[in-house]
């Protein structure tokens, strides 16, 4: 709980999810959360727990993940040590990266700062944006850990047509792994393609994502692209949500949490309150 003896610290970080069993701590398994919390606890010499913007599954990566934690104000100020010219946030980035580098070297802290009043990494976001990378040519062994190679040839024109103008408020029941008592209604802000000779990048942004929602939408798009499903199949499932065995989950390693968008500093507290009031907290989990 944040009080007047602690600072709430926002930390932005990136990671290669390949060596980890997802974000969330699991007994006996390496996870991103465990690595970060262990690093922070080592630096501050006391247990530190973090809150994340969106929990990623095993093998999913992040270009810019956001977390927050509570740090005793005195310990925060001591981070700079004898170097008066170095700010505590600069010292945290340097020290935490040093600790994390001793492990797999797959996590990198990008920046740290004292969070504005009311900030909550999980409940303050306006939206989250993901990209899913699909190989558009011969397999490249250098990108195999974060680019999916589909076994069948893809019709990129059919894929682009399938998601043209798909945005807005929908019930994503056909594309979510349901949780008891949780809603599958979300607002989709972006769903489009960027195509190069090497990669088909699928971009998705929404206010929040249900469990497996991103990978299920990509899976449906792949089925239309390879001819397994007829044009319009994804859109029909979106218009008529149903949970059935036709949902295909695209492999995790092609998915990257690209960015988490927050309102202005003076609005983050109100946004967090609105999100908590509108949505069951157990459902605010990302792919």
Q: How many CB atoms lie within 10 A of CB 85?
A: 6
User: Rounded to 10 degrees, what is the CA torsion of 236, 239, 243, 245?
Assistant: 10
| Catalytic hit among 12, 16, 57, 258 | 57
Sign of CA dihedral 25, 30, 36, 41: positive
Q: How far is CA 42 from CA 92, 100, 121, 208, 252, in A?
A: 11, 11, 22, 32, 31
In this structure, the strands spanning 255-261 and 61-72 are parallel
For residue 57, indicate whether it is catalytic: yes
Active-site residue set: 57
């Amino acid at each position: 709980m944040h009080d007047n003896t602690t600072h709430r610290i926002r930390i932005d970080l990136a990671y290669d999810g390949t060596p980890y069993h997802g974000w969330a701590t699991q007994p006996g398994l390496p996870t991103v959360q465990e690595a970060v919390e262990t690093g922070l606890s080592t630096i501050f010499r006391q247990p530190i727990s973090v809150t994340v913007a969106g929990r990623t599954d095993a093998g999913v990566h992040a270009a810019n993940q956001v977390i927050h934690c509570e740090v005793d104000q005195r310990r925060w100020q001591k981070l700079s040590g004898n170097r008066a010219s170095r700010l505590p946030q600069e010292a945290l980035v340097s020290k935490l990266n040093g600790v994390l580098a001793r492990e797999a070297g797959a996590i990198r802290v990008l920046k740290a700062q004292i969070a504005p009043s009311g900030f909550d990494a999980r409940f303050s976001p306006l939206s989250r944006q993901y990209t899913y990378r699909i190989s558009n040519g011969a397999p490249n062994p250098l990108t195999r850990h974060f680019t999916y190679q589909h076994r069948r040839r893809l019709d990129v024109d059919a894929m682009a047509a399938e998601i043209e103008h798909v945005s807005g408020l929908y019930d994503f029941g056909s594309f979510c792994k349901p949780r008891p008592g949780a809603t599958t209604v979300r607002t989709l802000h972006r769903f489009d393609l960027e195509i190069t000779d090497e990669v088909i990048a699928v971009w998705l942004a929404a206010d929040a994502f249900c469990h497996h929602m991103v990978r299920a939408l990509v899976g449906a798009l792949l089925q239309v692209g390879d001819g397994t499903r007829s044009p319009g199949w994804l859109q029909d499932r979106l218009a008529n949500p149903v949970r059935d065995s036709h949902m295909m989950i695209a492999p995790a390693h092609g998915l990257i949490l690209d960015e988490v968008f927050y309102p202005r500093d003076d609005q983050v507290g109100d946004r967090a309150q609105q999100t908590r009031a509108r949505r069951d907290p157990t459902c605010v989990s990302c792919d």
